Amino acid sequence: RTSLGSMDPLLVRAARREPLDRTPVWFMRQAGRSLPEYRAIREQHSFWEVAHTPELCAEVTLQPVRRHDVDAAVMFADIMTPVLALGVDVELREGVGPVIDAPVRTAADVDRLRLDPAGFAPLADAIRIVRGELPGEKAVIGFCGGPFTVAGYLVEGRPSREYATVKKLMYDAPDVWRALMKTLADCFSAYVVEQVRAGADVIQLFDSWVGVLSPADYEEFVAPWSARILAAVDVPTFHFGTGTSTLLEAMARAGGDVIGLDWRIPLDDGWARVGDRGVQGNLDPALLLGPWERVEASARDVLARAARRPGHIFNLGHGVLPGTDPDVLTRLAAFVRGQARA
């Protein structure tokens, strides 16, 4: 990173709401299954082999930047990566998601979680490679999962729709929940600090499934812990969830220089609710499976709602779907880059 503000990556300057001549663009889940070059690597290596081998992780992270010319490289990792450093076995089961055979549901289960910071080293090494290879105007995005979303997998043992087991734990055993949240917040804070030390320009907190909570439950059970993680670093932070139209004000209070908006709320409405900060979003990723004319019209609408205000970063409302044609992503990135703000 440079010390001169004007030389910082475009994404960093957008996060600080500096006036720019165009809108930065990147895509959540831009690396991975939508790219044939990624699938070629996965024919030889498992997900965790790629994620834990710095050279492979860096290569997969850089693939979409080369192909799409987006403004940022988001590190190739999983939101469950740091819990491996807590001694949890996580299986990423195809078509299911993260599966934990020994869920964390009691005080004794939480006590067994012990952080080994050496588990962060492979990602930190990959960040150094990526930052060394990227042009200075492109950002390196480090990230971690949000404490609720990760706890959801740890407590349920697998993806859930209702999160009933998680909510029962919050309500029935608030002391156990607080102990788990403290353990995760301490782990994730150390994890994002290590990413910034290695060269990450911004940090995004992915609390993807926090939208299942009521505003009151979010404020009581989650917000303080998310705030702790977001306050741990001195680079711009992005705070993201899906289904969060009822939580936007509370998420903004918890922290984040930029608040991620999903496609369920018009961008200008969401921006009006999060106050004096930037926003990221918010094209429905499923639109990319349809005709280009609809993609372009919807992208124009997102940009029109941003109204050239400083602080907008163009993205999808959630991650790229696996069946997305990468040529459509390339075309969309070029379209957004071509819509100058001047």
Residues annotated catalytic, as ranges = 29, 33, 42, 78, 153
Give yes or no for a contact between 252 and 275, defined as CB atoms under 8 angstroms apart. yes
For 101, phi and psi rounded to 5 degrees? -70, -25
By the 10 Å C-beta count (0-12 exposed, 13-18 middle, 19+ buried), 44 is classed as exposed
Residues 62 and 32: their CA atoms lie apart, in Å, by: 11
Q: What is the CA radius of gyration of the chain?
A: 19
Task: Please tell me the distance from the alpha carbon of residue 169 to that of residue 174, in angstroms, as a whole number.
Answer: 7
Is the omega angle on the peptide bond into residue 315 within 30 degrees of 0, that is, cis? no
286, two tokens: 């499923």
- Between CA 166 and CA 100 the distance in angstroms is 14
159 membership: H or E segment, kind and range: none
CB count within 10 Å of CB 312 equals 26
The distance from CA 253 to its chain's CA centroid, rounded to whole angstroms, is: 18
| C-alpha 264: how far from chain center | 18
Q: Please give the C-alpha separations between residue 224 and each of 3, 218, 219, 227, 286, in angstroms, as whole numbers.
A: 31, 9, 7, 5, 33
Distance from the Cα of residue 252 to its chain's centroid: 16
User: Two tokens at 153?
Assistant: 């997998």
| CA–CA gap between residue 86 and residue 168 (Å, rounded) | 23
